[in-house]
Each structure stands twice: as C-alpha cells, then as structure tokens.
Amino acid sequence: MKTNNISIIILGLLTALGLSCMGYFISQTMYNAKMAINTAQVKGLAEVQVKANSSSWRLSLSVMGSDKLKIPELYQKINSELKQVEDILLSNGLSKEEIEVGIINNSVREFRDDKQVLVERKYVLTANVNVETEKVGKIKEVRKKMNILITKGFNLTSHAPSYKFTNLNKIKPDLLKEATQNARASAAEFAKNAGVEVGKIKSARQGNISITDIGSDYSDSKKIDKKVRVVTTITFYLK
C-alpha cells in the first residue's frame, strides 16, 4: 500500500512537471507569435544624382610603311606624332602625371590575293597614350581638339572615355539615412492603416549600392552624370 502511494506521488509530480513544461512552451510560442505579428518589414529606397570624379581615356596611334629598311624612320615619325599628341594634352590643362605614353610596338601585316600569294607586306608601329585624371570636364574639350591631328594625316583613334564616381564613402551615410527615413515613412503608413504606431528598429539589412549612368540601368562608365541608388530592408516594432 505504501509503495502504491509513493508511485502515485511520483506520477503526480511527473504530470505536474509535464504540464508546466507544456505551459511554458505554449506561452513562449504565443509570445513569439505576438512578436511576429507586432512587426512590419518594409523597404526604403534612396537615390541621388552625382557627377563622375574620375576619367580614363585612351588614344591609339599607328604609322605604317612597306619598306623594312625604313623602320628607323617610322620610329622617328611615331615619336614625333606622340609628342604632338602629348603637347595638345598638356596645353589643355592636363599634367604630365596624368599622361602615360606607352611603349612602341612593331608588327607585320601581310596582304595576300585569292590564291594566298603574298601581294604586299606592311610594317606597322603602334603606341597608346593613356590619360587618368580627375579633371573630368577637360576630357570632352580636348577630345575635340585632337581632330586637328587627324586632318594632318595622323592615324589616330580616340577611344570612348570611361567616367567613374569613386566618392561613395562620402555620400553613403546620408544615403542610408534617407533610405531609413523612407522606410520608416512606409512603415508609418502601414501602421496607420492597422491602427498602431511604429516603434524602434528590430533589424536592418542594407542592399547593394548601385552606381549607373543617368538614363541607364546597366552602364556605369559612359556618362559623367550618375545615379547612386540603395535599397534597405528594415523591420520595425509596432506598438
């Protein structure tokens, strides 16, 4: 009889413990569900227009001759033409530190007829002039002035400049602040319709910051005018 009483007591304690644990888990689940209901996740968008602050520009120059014995003369010619290209760049506000004159390369081009018989052989010297500058506005001006060399017979190619915005860290804090403010405004509209108020931020996640040319969603190097865009995802408490 005594043994039965002890068994009943132990069974009662285990039952009470089980009910207690069950009550805890149910209350915890209800609490978590309540917390999930009392939040709102919204996205905040911020955009700003900026101008490129860095530019890269490449010019290609070549001279050609059919007599191998005259290659030294071709070297003198291309060096003279490179000097004239550099002079125009310097006289239009660029510095020597911003200009890099590349090495001269020598190649041979062979021209054959339909029967693959060698008709002519050309000796070609080529060189590039690279410009890296923060004087973005100067590039457009000096490109036009290079046309005078083409009228003189220079075999000169002016490649399209590349324009970049590299001061992202300077505008990033204000951009993220605006995105957060816009996210809160969206959350406030949601809360108003639900009859509650927006509280503190529960969590925030920054999306990628994109830099593209104005009028383009893909290119980021063809135009001086750029668009910087960021989207943040923020979860607010509702109260």
DSSP assigned state of 96: G
Q: How many alpha carbons lie under 13 Å from residue 228 in its C-beta half-sphere?
A: 22
Lowest mean pLDDT among 27-31, 82-86, 121-125: 27-31
Return the H-helix or E-strand segment holding 7. helix 2-37
Q: Are residues 204 and 104 in the same domain?
A: no
- The token pair at 72 is 């030294």
The answer to whether residue 5 is domain-embedded is no
pLDDT digits (tens, 9 = 90+) for 137-174: 999 899 999 999 999 999 999 999 999 999 999 999 99
- Look up residue 81 and give its amino acid: E
The answer to whether residue 186 is domain-embedded is yes
Of 103, 128, 163, which residue is a domain's last? 163
> What's the pLDDT band for 24 if we cut at 50, 70, 90?
very low
Return the H-helix or E-strand segment holding 42. strand 39-51
- Look up residue 42 and give its amino acid: V
Q: Is residue 10's pLDDT more than 70? A: no
The answer to whether residue 25 is domain-embedded is no
Angle, helices 71-91/136-145, rounded to nearest 10 degrees: 130
The answer to whether residue 112 is domain-embedded is yes
The answer to whether residue 78 is domain-embedded is yes
Q: Are residues 132 and 47 in the same domain?
A: no
How far is residue 156's CA from residue 30's CA, in Å, rounded to a whole number?
Answer: 75
CATH number of the domain encompassing residue 67: 3.30.70
Average pLDDT over residues 188-210: 90
> Is the model more confident about 117 or about 204?
204
Q: Is residue 133's pLDDT more than 90? A: yes
Q: Are residues 58 and 46 in the same domain?
A: no
- The token pair at 33 is 């569900």
Tell me which residue range forms the domain holding 98: 54-163
Average pLDDT over residues 190-200: 89
Q: Is residue 54's pLDDT more than 80? A: yes
Q: Are residues 159 and 191 in the same domain?
A: no
Domain total of the chain: 2
How far is residue 226's CA from residue 49's CA, in Å, rounded to a whole number?
Answer: 6
The answer to whether residue 24 is domain-embedded is no
How far is residue 222's CA from residue 216's CA, in Å, rounded to a whole number?
Answer: 10
The pLDDT, as a whole number, for residue 29 is 32
The pLDDT, as a whole number, for residue 37 is 60
Mean confidence (pLDDT) of the chain: 86
How far is residue 123's CA from residue 107's CA, in Å, rounded to a whole number?
Answer: 6
Pair 131, 140: CB distance under 8 Å: no
Share of the chain above pLDDT 90, in %: 68
What does pTM read for this prediction? 0.76
Q: Is residue 9's pLDDT more than 90? A: no
The answer to whether residue 13 is domain-embedded is no
How far is residue 185's CA from residue 5's CA, in Å, rounded to a whole number?
Answer: 66
Pair 41, 191: CB distance under 8 Å: no
The answer to whether residue 67 is domain-embedded is yes
> Is the model more confident about 89 or about 113?
89
